[in-house]
Structure 1
């Protein structure tokens, strides 16, 4: 009997209201509630785009109609798929390298004040330098292959990763660190059990930004020198005044960024269920 009373005691605590786990219908309703506003905004934007093209407010060679852009995507799926895959591959490799190097750099900066004071100004300087300005140098040094595109993607995506990771590692509750030291935990045990898990929400916030910037970095590299990729498609279409193909390339590039962002968000929910449950407010106070 006493065990039953103890097990029920938390649910009857003053000021706490328990909520049942949402079912499939409730989750679908919540998803629809969150998604209808951006969907409505997209429909308004496409409606304005169609209206501008239909009323000939702008010449068709400057702004093609949505129908003409869609026809290009339908008529040349293999062409767009081939170049989209190249850009996606460059983005994923660059993003993976940026994540690995960014996490290691953040750990070193938090572990050593000397490393932080030495490395942080260099990172800041590298971030403020326009990547489009130094991209031609990478082409000269590394050639017209895939390496310059990956390097630019790494440079653009690296900064959000390292800054968010440093913020997360420093945002740990000092009382938790004192408790682990009191319990005799070693530094590496404190890092694995307390610091690193606590930094993951901040890290994923940076990853969402970094993965979209990696797409931009890959395309910027293709602008400078490439014979494949969406950046190459956009440059060729611009040179030929083929605005439907240009808009198609922009739409596909945006779609890649959105898909990668969603994948990172799904990974966050799978790897951080405790953080997601806290946001969903399974138990709230009143």
Structure 2
């Protein structure tokens, strides 16, 4: 055997796949980028604060102010925690309404083409209407309690669910559909065995969007419905009125943390469901 043939065989010889990355490498890959971005944001915050005149520095509190007015006050930390529970309960209750209704509506539009043509323009119109414009109608019809806030969250988070699920259902491989038809499978069997599993990744993309919007919608609802047990929205208003900007920033940070937590919850659930068969939930290589 010539040297050329040996070189070709060596070049195309089978090579073992690399093993899974270590825990330390995975943790570094997951945590290092957001940590570095956080450092950049902090540096940019302090650089912007340094440009403010002295009499306006209270608008952007420094770390000493946050320590004195937030972290060393157990009463405020307790209030921040209890109000966060109120806000997250409103957000999750709204998602419990928008998610089932959105899934059912997407299936109906997929099953009946005329329903898609009839309903979809109104979905777009509902998304384009400012929710603040219809809040007076909600106040007049339902009142000022807990449910109106939940309804606003449902309105905020509804649009992404049926649109993403409908896109996933319409993107199912036609060869799979034809295979079910060859077996004389019913439409419900095709939906259960092929449609919903194949469209689940796109649905979870919509759930991530809706989940991150839910906390924002809950805070917005509290700005207009001040009755009942208050959440982070009321805390933001009270801190702004009292010029306690350190506490206002703490409420803002907590609201962002809640939004990220809901997003990560749906992201984790999607990865658990799709990691073995879909690229969207693929494990890091």
Does TM, scored on the shorter chain, surpass 0.5? Answer: yes
With normalisation by structure 1, the TM-score equals 0.85
Matched, 1:42 2:38: yes
> How far did 1:38 drift?
2.6
Query: Which whole-Å CA distance do the structure 1 matches of 2:92 and 2:201 have between them?
Result: 21
2:60 aligns to what SS in structure 1?
coil
Aligned to 1:6: none
In 2, Cα distance between the equivalents of 1:121 and 1:276? 32
Once superposed, which parts of structure 1, at least 4 consecutive aligned residues long, lie more than 6 Å away? 14-18
The number of residue pairs the alignment matches comes to 267
- CA deviations 1:130-155 (Å, max 9, x no partner) are 11222233223222211111111101
Q: Does 1:129 align with 2:129?
A: yes
CA RMSD across the alignment: 2.4
Deviation, structure 1 residue 231: 0.7
Structure 1 residues 61 and 155 mapped into 2: Cα distance closer, same or farther (>3 Å)?
Answer: same
Structure 2 residue aligned with 1:256, among 249, 258, 273?
258
Q: Is the 8 A contact 1:50 1:66 kept in 2?
A: no
Alignment of 1:59-98 (within 5 A): 59-74=56-71, 75=73, 76-98=76-98
2:31 aligned with 1:29: no
Q: Take 1:277 and 1:204, find their aligned partners in 2: how far apart are those partners?
A: 10
- What are the Cα deviations for residues 254-281 of structure 1, in whole angstroms up to 9, with x where unaligned? 0000111111111111122322587348
Q: Which residue of 2 aligns with 1:240?
A: 242
CA distance in 2, matches of 1:196, 1:16: 38
Q: 2:174 maps to which residue?
A: 174
**Bigger CA drift: 41-50 or 272-281?**
272-281
Secondary structure, aligned partner of 1:60: helix
In the alignment, what sits opposite 1:100?
100
Q: Distance in 1 between the 2:135 and 2:13 partners? A: 58
What is the CA–CA distance in structure 2 between the aligned matches of 1:229 and 1:133, rounded to whole Å? 22
- Provide the residue aligned with 1:7 in structure 2: none
Would you say the 8 A contact 1:64–1:243 is kept in 2? yes
What is the SS of the residue equivalent to 1:61? helix
- Where 2:57 maps in the other structure, the secondary structure is coil
Q: Secondary structure at the match of 2:188?
A: helix
1:142 aligns with 2:142: yes
Cα distance in 1 between the residues matched to 2:16 and 2:156: 44
